[in-house]
């Protein structure tokens, strides 16, 4: 039986000998490669924090001491050390979440997988501990150097520094990367700290020299103090943190478990806010990940564990089409620039950056800054394209509303992973964007259904210079082209089915167009007349669409966003305002957080399959099912 098999709780980790700790670390890396290669998941980040997580659980006593993991995708090792070793259904319905989950364990606290939030959580928990007299416990926040580029992290540090008697340890997991190499002034400062580890060596030399010289105690103390002060300013410029009033420890080799333990013990004993700066290597111990410069192993699908290659080649997807079309646009329009929030590769901007390096701005994990900076660029005569995952635009809503829309700035937001993404759980589903953005005055939103409509939507979006535009599309492979029969004042008619029964208008929003087509076929098989349309630009609601609604007996809208306040709700509202009495049946995602599961499982659970939608329409019309 290996060491990992003997771990059922953090107490078991604390009972290990140093030799057993090293064996445990080796076993965990082997386990992660074997398991995640079968299920997919965040491999690189977890391989990089094995020794760090072991040390955390040997020094602190979870759940008495609270551990908060920023972003949370690096919590697989934490799960293993807290008794959760069944990874067979990782990120699948009924299996372990890919992030911390309160439903799984008392050792998990923060489930939100959006970055830069952990320090605020930790600050709040530490304040609660202090006010309620819980002086026997610590709060530990683990945050990556990438997440430290987010402004919210610095707001939290500013407040953490004010609580000098609060037991709070901030562990900066510094691997020089988020999805991509960390950028900006902070990254430069951390680079400087990484290259100044000679500080402790010089200090040790000074101590040895003073001992050999026989210098009297007080004089030796004064000399050593002067030496420390002098070399600290030269080779250890950690002042950025200490000037805030937060003690700094490090940098420490994050793969030297005993060294990490010693640093954490010092931090815990200090009794106030401490930053422990730990240097780690993303993908540590797995050769394909260590040699990967494109960071393909940050998150993987199913792969060959020996080679790291995908089991099945990925199909041509939505992101690839965007990547190709934005380069074409960039060649034609020199005023078009691109902005990414630390996700150049995942959102498809790498080809644009390669061809137009001076026209790409990676702002770090700072979506709010991305949006307002884009407004400034628009004022200066550029047309910015801000490419982010749909779920992360939530973080910049105020900036979209007050900085972009209020100032009628021509900024295009491209939302990747819109709709149901599934595996990563509640905070990664891109289901909020349409309901959220529907209240923004002047904003125009397109939901393309296939490759051609995506290309056209992008070209149309960057031509708008007096309002924000949004183009959203889902995660994954792209389906076949869905041609239109005709264009009715900007609304595409995709199919018409004859029949003797009531007429039904089926509105497919974006990627749900294929669901709308199949729904109409089922309705037609029950004798109804059905027309399928795709508005393409769904916000504001096209006048042609409300006219089409009035020409039918019943309308059903199908969208992969929150149904309350979504496209269907807006269509119904516009029809009522126009005096159109046709019922509009809105089908979409209910207003609730969704547990992790595959997209297919979620579609079934939420009754978004064509047969489900058709059955509900027939029921609404009083037809036998």
Instruction: Please determine, for residue 231, whether its predicted confidence score (pLDDT) is greater than 50.
Output: no
> What pLDDT sits at residue 304?
65
Could you say which DSSP state residue 293 is in?
S
Instruction: Please determine, for residue 264, whether its predicted confidence score (pLDDT) is greater than 80.
Output: yes
Instruction: Please determine, for residue 217, whether its predicted confidence score (pLDDT) is greater than 60.
Output: no
Q: What is the mean pLDDT of the chain?
A: 86
Q: 59 pLDDT band (50/70/90 cuts)?
A: very high
Arithmetic mean of pLDDT, 447-464: 97
Instruction: Please determine, for residue 479, whether its predicted confidence score (pLDDT) is greater than 90.
Output: no
Helix (H) or strand (E) holding 603: helix 599-605
- Give pLDDT tens digits for 539-587: 999 999 999 999 999 999 999 999 999 999 999 999 999 999 999 999 9
Instruction: Please determine, for residue 177, whether its predicted confidence score (pLDDT) is greater than 80.
Output: no
Give the count of beta carbons closer than 10 Å to the beta carbon of residue 430. 26
Give the count of beta carbons closer than 10 Å to the beta carbon of residue 124. 14
Nearest one of 380, 329, 387, 381 to 356, comparing CA atoms: 329
> What pLDDT sits at residue 312?
60
> What pLDDT sits at residue 199?
44
- Give pLDDT tens digits for 417-429: 998 887 777 778 8
Range scoring the smallest mean pLDDT among 233-242, 315-324, 471-480 = 233-242
Could you say which DSSP state residue 488 is in?
E
DSSP string, 558-571: EEEEESTTSHHHHH
Residue 484 marked as a ligand binder: no
How far apart are alpha carbons 105 and 91 in whole angstroms?
Answer: 16
Match 């026989």 to its residue by tokens. 214
Nearest one of 411, 443, 474, 469 to 540, comparing CA atoms: 443
Residue 418 marked as a ligand binder: no
How far apart are alpha carbons 140 and 447 in whole angstroms?
Answer: 42
How far apart are alpha carbons 402 and 544 in whole angstroms?
Answer: 30
Arithmetic mean of pLDDT, 495-509: 92
> What pLDDT sits at residue 459?
98
How far apart are alpha carbons 409 and 43 in whole angstroms?
Answer: 40
How far apart are alpha carbons 311 and 201 in whole angstroms?
Answer: 47
Could you say which DSSP state residue 454 is in?
H
How far apart are alpha carbons 400 and 407 in whole angstroms?
Answer: 10
**Which one is predicted more confidently, 361 or 149?**
361
Residue 584: beta bridge partners?
Answer: 555
Instruction: Please determine, for residue 185, whether its predicted confidence score (pLDDT) is greater than 90.
Output: no
Q: 161 pLDDT band (50/70/90 cuts)?
A: confident
Range scoring the smallest mean pLDDT among 84-98, 274-288, 587-601 = 274-288
28 touches 292 (CB < 8 A): no
How far apart are alpha carbons 326 and 349 in whole angstroms?
Answer: 8
Active site residues: 282, 367, 395
Nearest one of 336, 420, 346 to 378, comparing CA atoms: 336
The structure tokens listed for 449 are 């259904």
Cis link prior to 540 (omega < 30° from 0)? yes
Arithmetic mean of pLDDT, 237-255: 75
> What pLDDT sits at residue 423?
78
How far apart are alpha carbons 321 and 416 in whole angstroms?
Answer: 11
Arithmetic mean of pLDDT, 328-354: 94
Residue 503 marked as a ligand binder: no
How far apart are alpha carbons 533 and 507 in whole angstroms?
Answer: 5
Residue 145 marked as a ligand binder: yes
How far apart are alpha carbons 32 and 42 in whole angstroms?
Answer: 10
For 509, counting Cβ atoms within 10 Å of its Cβ (0-12 exposed, 13-18 middle, 19+ buried), the class is buried
Q: How does strand 247-253 pair with strand 168-174?
A: unpaired
Instruction: Please determine, for residue 145, whether its predicted confidence score (pLDDT) is greater than 60.
Output: yes
Percentage above 70 pLDDT, the chain: 84
> What pLDDT sits at residue 171?
93
388: three-class secondary structure by DSSP: strand
How far from the centroid of its chain's Cα atoms is residue 127's Cα?
27
**Which one is predicted more confidently, 374 or 193?**
374
68: three-class secondary structure by DSSP: strand
Residue 147 marked as a ligand binder: yes
583 touches 554 (CB < 8 A): yes
Arithmetic mean of pLDDT, 103-125: 88
- Give pLDDT tens digits for 78-111: 999 999 989 888 888 888 888 888 889 999 998 8
Instruction: Please determine, for residue 482, whether its predicted confidence score (pLDDT) is greater than 60.
Output: yes
How far apart are alpha carbons 412 and 275 in whole angstroms?
Answer: 39
Which stretches of 97-216 are DSSP H helices?
Answer: 118-131, 151-160, 185-194, 198-213
Range scoring the smallest mean pLDDT among 214-223, 271-280, 361-370, 518-527 = 214-223
Strands (E), 243-335: 247-253, 274-279
**Which one is predicted more confidently, 84 or 228?**
84
Residue 73 marked as a ligand binder: yes
Q: 44 pLDDT band (50/70/90 cuts)?
A: confident
Strands (E), 14-167: 66-69, 139-144
Nearest one of 39, 42, 33 to 428, comparing CA atoms: 42
Helix (H) or strand (E) holding 330: helix 318-332
How far apart are alpha carbons 152 and 229 in whole angstroms?
Answer: 32
CA distances from 81 to 11, 61, 287, 410, 446 (A): 9, 12, 24, 50, 46
Residue 113 marked as a ligand binder: yes
Match 């934005």 to its residue by tokens. 326
Q: 293 pLDDT band (50/70/90 cuts)?
A: low
- Give pLDDT tens digits for 26-36: 999 988 988 88
**Which one is predicted more confidently, 378 or 304?**
378
Range scoring the smallest mean pLDDT among 104-118, 306-320, 440-454, 540-554 = 306-320
328 touches 320 (CB < 8 A): no
Match 């430069």 to its residue by tokens. 188
What Rg do the C-alpha atoms of the chain give, in angstroms? 28
> What pLDDT sits at residue 517?
97
Arithmetic mean of pLDDT, 142-170: 87
CA distances from 151 to 110, 158, 184, 369 (A): 19, 11, 13, 8
Q: Which domains does the chain have, with CATH numbers?
A: 4-196+237-290 (3.40.50.970), 318-472 (3.40.50.970), 487-620 (3.40.50.920)
**600: number of CA atoms within 13 Å, CB side?**
2
Percentage above 90 pLDDT, the chain: 57
Range scoring the smallest mean pLDDT among 96-105, 396-405, 437-446 = 96-105
Instruction: Please determine, for residue 371, whether its predicted confidence score (pLDDT) is greater than 90.
Output: yes
Residue 146 marked as a ligand binder: yes
Dihedral sign (CA 22, 27, 30, 32): negative
How far apart are alpha carbons 167 and 274 in whole angstroms?
Answer: 8
How far apart are alpha carbons 341 and 414 in whole angstroms?
Answer: 12
462 touches 333 (CB < 8 A): yes
351 Cβ neighbours under 8 A, 6+ residues apart: 323, 324, 326, 327
């Amino acid at each position: 039986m290996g060491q990992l098999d003997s771990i059922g709780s953090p107490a078991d980790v604390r009972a290990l000998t140093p030799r057993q700790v090293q064996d445990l670390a080796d076993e965990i890396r082997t386990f992660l490669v074997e398991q995640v290669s079968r299920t997919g998941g965040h491999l690189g980040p977890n391989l990089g924090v094995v020794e760090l997580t072991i040390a955390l659980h040997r020094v602190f006593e979870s759940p008495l001491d609270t551990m908060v993991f920023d972003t949370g995708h690096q919590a697989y090792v934490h799960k293993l050390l807290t008794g959760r070793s069944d990874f067979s259904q990782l990120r699948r319905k009924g299996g372990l979440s890919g992030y911390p989950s309160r439903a799984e364990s008392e050792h998990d606290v923060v489930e939100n997988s959006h970055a830069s939030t952990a320090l605020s959580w930790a600050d709040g928990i530490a304040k609660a501990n202090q006010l309620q007299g819980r002086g026997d416990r610590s709060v530990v926040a683990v945050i990556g150097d990438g997440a430290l580029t987010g402004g919210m992290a610095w707001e939290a540090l500013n407040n953490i520094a004010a609580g000098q008697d609060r037991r709070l340890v901030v562990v900066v997991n510094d691997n020089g990367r988020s999805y991509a190499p960390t950028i900006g002034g902070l990254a430069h400062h951390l680079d400087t700290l990484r290259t100044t580890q000679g500080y402790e060596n010089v200090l040790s030399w000074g101590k040895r020299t003073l001992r050999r010289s026989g210098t009297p105690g007080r004089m030796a103390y004064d000399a050593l103090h002067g030496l420390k002060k002098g070399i600290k300013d030269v080779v250890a410029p950690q002042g950025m943190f200490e000037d805030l009033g937060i003690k700094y420890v490090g940098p420490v080799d994050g793969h030297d478990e005993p060294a990490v333990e010693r640093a954490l013990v010092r931090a815990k004993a200090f009794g106030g806010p401490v930053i422990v700066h730990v240097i780690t290597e993303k993908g540590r111990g797995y050769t394909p990940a260590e040699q990967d410069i494109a960071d393909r192993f940050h998150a993987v699908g199913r792969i060959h564990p020996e080679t790291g290659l995908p089991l099945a080649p990925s199909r041509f997807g939505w992101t690839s089409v965007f990547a190709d079309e934005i380069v074409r646009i960039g060649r034609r329009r020199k005023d078009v620039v691109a902005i990414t929030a630390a996700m150049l590769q995942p959102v498809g901007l790498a080809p644009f950056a390669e061809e137009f390096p001076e026209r790409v701005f990676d702002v770090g994990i700072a979506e709010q800054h991305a949006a307002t900076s884009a407004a400034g660029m628009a004022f200066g005569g550029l047309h910015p394209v801000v490419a982010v995952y749909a779920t992360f635009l939530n973080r910049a809503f105020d900036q979209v509303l007050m900085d972009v829309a209020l100032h009628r700035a021509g900024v295009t937001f491209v939302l990747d992973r819109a709709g149901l993404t599934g595996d990563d759980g509640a905070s990664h589903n891109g289901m909020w964007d349409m309901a959220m953005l529907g209240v923004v005055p002047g904003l125009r939103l397109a939901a393309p259904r296939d490759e051609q409509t995506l290309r056209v939507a992008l070209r149309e979006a960057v031509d708008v210079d007096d309002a924000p535009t949004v183009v959203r599309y889902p995660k994954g492979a792209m389906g076949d082209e869905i041609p239109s029969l005709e264009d009715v004042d900007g609304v595409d008619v995709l199919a018409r089915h004859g029949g003797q029964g009531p007429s039904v208008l089926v509105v497919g929003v974006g990627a749900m167009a294929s669901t709308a087509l199949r729904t109409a076929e089922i309705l037609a098989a029950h004798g109804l007349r059905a027309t399928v349309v795709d508005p393409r630009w769904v916000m504001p609601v096209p006048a042609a669409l409300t006219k089409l609604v009035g020409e039918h007996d019943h309308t059903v809208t199908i969208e992969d966003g929150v149904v309350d306040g979504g496209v269907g709700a807006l269509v119904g509202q516009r029809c009522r305002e126009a005096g159109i009495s046709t019922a509009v049946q809105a089908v979409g995602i209910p207003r609730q957080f969704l547990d992790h599961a595959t997209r297919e499982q979620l579609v079934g659970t939420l009754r978004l399959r064509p047969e489900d939608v058709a059955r509900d329409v027939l029921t609404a019309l009083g037809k036998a099912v």
